[in-house]
A and B are shown apart, each in its own frame.
Chain A
Amino acid sequence: MAVDTAFNMAPVATPFFFYMLSGIMLIGGILVITRKNPVHSALALITVLLAQAAIYLMLYAPFVAGVQIILYAGGIMVLFLFVIMLVNIDRAAKERTFNSQWLVGIVAATALGGLFVAVYTKGNNIFPEHALSVIENDNTQKVATMLYGQYMFAFEIASLLLLVAIIGAVVMAKKRI
C-alpha cells in the first residue's frame, strides 16, 4: 500500500492507550475497595476486567482477551451480581467493610511496593530489548497447538480440578444423592 504515511493508521499498542487503560484499571480497582455499596463495587470490578481485556488486545493476544470478556465480565461477574442483588443493601452498607488488619496490610503493601521498585530499577535485564513481533492472525491456532500439544498434561490436570469442583458443588447443593 503506497499511501502517504500521514494518513496511515498508527499501531494499536501506543503508550497513550496503555496509560489510559491502566488508569481506568487503577481507578476501577480503588473504587472496588472503597465503595460501600457492593453492587457498585462489582460494577467497578467489571470495568477493571474489561480494561484488562483491552490490554490483552494491545499485547496481541486476542484469544485471551475474548475469553476474559466471556468468562469474567460475562459469566462470573453476572453470577456475582446475581447474588449481590439479593442482599439487603441498606443493612450491608451500614456494616463495617474493613477488618482492621493494619500490620498484615502494611507488610504486604511494602513487599509489593519493594517488588515494583526493584523491577523498575533493575528491569532492563529482565525484559527483552525489543517488542516481540507476534503475528496476530493465528493467535488462536497457536494457543490451541500449545494447549493440546506441549502443555497437554497441565491442561488435563486443570480440567480435572474443575470437574472435581463441579461435582463438589453438586454434592454440596443436593440434599439427597
Chain B
Amino acid sequence: MGHDLMGQLVQYIQSYLSSDQTPGAAGNMFWVLVYILAVFVGLSIAVIAMNWLERKILAHMQVRLGPMRVGPHGLLQPIADAIKLLLKEDIIPAEADVAIFWVAPFMVVLAAFTVFIVVPFGPTHAVTDMNIGILFMLGVSSLSVLGIVMAGWASNSHYPLIGALRSSAQMVSYEVAMGLAVVSAIVMTSLNASGTGTLSMIGIVQAQQEQGVWFIFKFFPLGLIAFFIFAVAMVAETNRAPFDLAEAESELTAGFHTEYSGFRWSLFFLAEYSAMIAVSSIAVTLWLGGWLRPFPNLLSGSTWDLIFSLFPGVTFLFLAAMCFFNAVRMPKHPFFRIQTIGLAGFGVVLGLIGLVMLVPAVRIRVQDIFWFAAKVATFMYLYIWYRGTFPRYRFDQLMQMGWKVLLPMGLGVLILTATAGLWPSIQHSIWHP
C-alpha cells in the first residue's frame, strides 16, 4: 500500500515534466513548491551577491579597494555581515508602538518577495502565470510603502517619521508616472490579429516574440521614452540614490529604519534589494523582451541558436578564469595562502557550474533564465552606477520631476502610442472612406 502511494507520488511529480505550462497553471503542488523554493534561494543569493558587488563597484568607482579582508577580495564579507547582524542586540525603543514595530519589516519583506510568483524567468519558468500578472506585481509592490510608513510611525521618533512621510509621498507620486509607462507597454501587446492585449507577464513577453521586436524599440522613440520614464520612476519607487531622500544620511540619519537594528534591519535590507530586482524584472519583461535572447530574428538559425545557448556556460567559465587569474596574481606571502586557495576553490566551483551549463540538456533549459538574469543584472549595475555618480535630489526637485516632467511625458507617450497602434486603421478609413 505504501509502495503504491510512493508510485503515485512519483507519477504525480513526473506528470509535470511533459507539460509546457508553468507549475501553477498545471496545478502541480510539488513543482510549485520547488519553484517557490528555487526563487527564494536564488533571490537570497542574488541579494548577497549584490551586497558584495555594490560595495566593490562603488569602491572602485571612488578609487578605493572596498572590502578586502574577509575572504579573497572580500568575497565572504556579506556572510560576515549577516552573522554580525544576526548576533547584534535587537533594540525596540521604549516609546515605540511594539506591535506595529514588529510587523513593519515583515510587511516590507512579504511585499517584496510575493511579487516574484509571477516573474517569468522563461516560458515555463515562473511559479504561476496570472491573468492580471503586471497588475499584481504593481499592486503588491505598492504595499511595501505601507510597511515603510508603519516602521517610520511606530518608531515614535522624528527622523523615522519624516523619512516615512518623504518615502510615502515619493512612492505615491512616482507610481502614477510608472503606471502610465506600463500602460503604454500593455497597449503595445494588443497590436495583434485579434486586437486583445494581455496583462499576463508571460503573455507580454510572448507578444514581443510574436511581433518580432522588443517594446523598447517599438514605435521608436515612443517605446524608448516609456522605458525611460519607467527606469526613472523605478529608482524613485525603490528609494535608491539619487532619489533616496527617505534615508538621506546627512539629514535624517537613516530615515525610516533609524531605530531598527540587527535582524529587523537586515529584513529591510533584504526587502530593498529584492524590490530592486522585482522592479528591474518588470522593466525587463515589459520592454527588454524578458527571457528572449538578443536578435532572435536577425541572427536566427540553428548555428546562432547554438552559439547563444553556449553563453551561460561561457560566462561562468569566464568568471572562473578571472578567479584563477587573480589567484595567480595574489601576493606570494604565507599570509595570503588561505586566500589564494579560497579564490582558486571559488574558481573551481564556478568552472564546474559553467561546465554543467554546457551540457546540451542543461543549456537548453537554462538559457531563458540566463538571459532574463543577465538583463536584470544590467539594471542592478545601473543602480550602483547611479549611486556612484548622481548627487541626491532636493525634495521639491523630486516632486517637480515626478509631477511636472514624468507624468505629462507619460500621458503624451500613452496617447501617441495608442494613436500609432491605431494608425493603420485610421489611414485606411481616411483613404477608403
Contacts and interface: CB of A to CB of B under 8 A. Distances in A.
Interface of A: 1-4, 6-9, 37, 39-40, 43, 46, 62-63, 65-67, 69-70, 73-75, 77-79, 81-82, 85-86, 136-141
Interface stretch (B5-13, B227-235, B354-362): B5-13
Interface residues of B, number: 40
Contacts of A3: 11-12, 15
Contacts of B27: 1, 8-9
A1 B168 contact: no
Interface of B: 8-9, 11-12, 15, 19, 26-29, 97, 100, 130-132, 135-136, 138-140, 142-143, 145-146, 149-150, 152-153, 161, 164-165, 168-169, 171-172, 175, 196-199
Contacts of B135: 63, 66-67, 70, 140
Contacts of A67: 135, 139
Nearest to A85: B153
B129 to A, nearest CB: 10
Q: 4 shortest A-B CB distances, which residue pairs? A: A74-B142, A69-B139, A66-B135, A70-B139
Nearest to B171: A78
A140 B139 contact: no
A136 B12 CA distance: 25
B364 to A, nearest CB: 24
B132 A85 contact: no
A66 B139 contact: yes
Nearest to B32: A9
Contact of B8 (A6, A43, A137, A139): A6
B142 A70 contact: yes
Contacts of B19: 1
Given A66-B132, A140-B199, A85 B161 contact: yes
A75 B173 CA distance: 10
Contacts of A4: 8, 11-12
A9 B131 contact: no
B152 to A, nearest CB: 8
26 contacts: A1-B27, A2-B15, A7-B12, A9-B28, A40-B100, A63-B131, A63-B135, A66-B135, A69-B143, A70-B138, A73-B142, A73-B146, A74-B139, A78-B172, A81-B146, A81-B150, A82-B149, A82-B165, A85-B149, A85-B152, A138-B196, A139-B131, A140-B131, A140-B198, A141-B196, A141-B198
B18 to A, nearest CB: 10
A85 B165 contact: yes
A8 B130 CA distance: 19
Contacts of A46: 146
Contacts of B29: 7, 9
A37 B156 CA distance: 14
A174 to B, nearest CB: 14
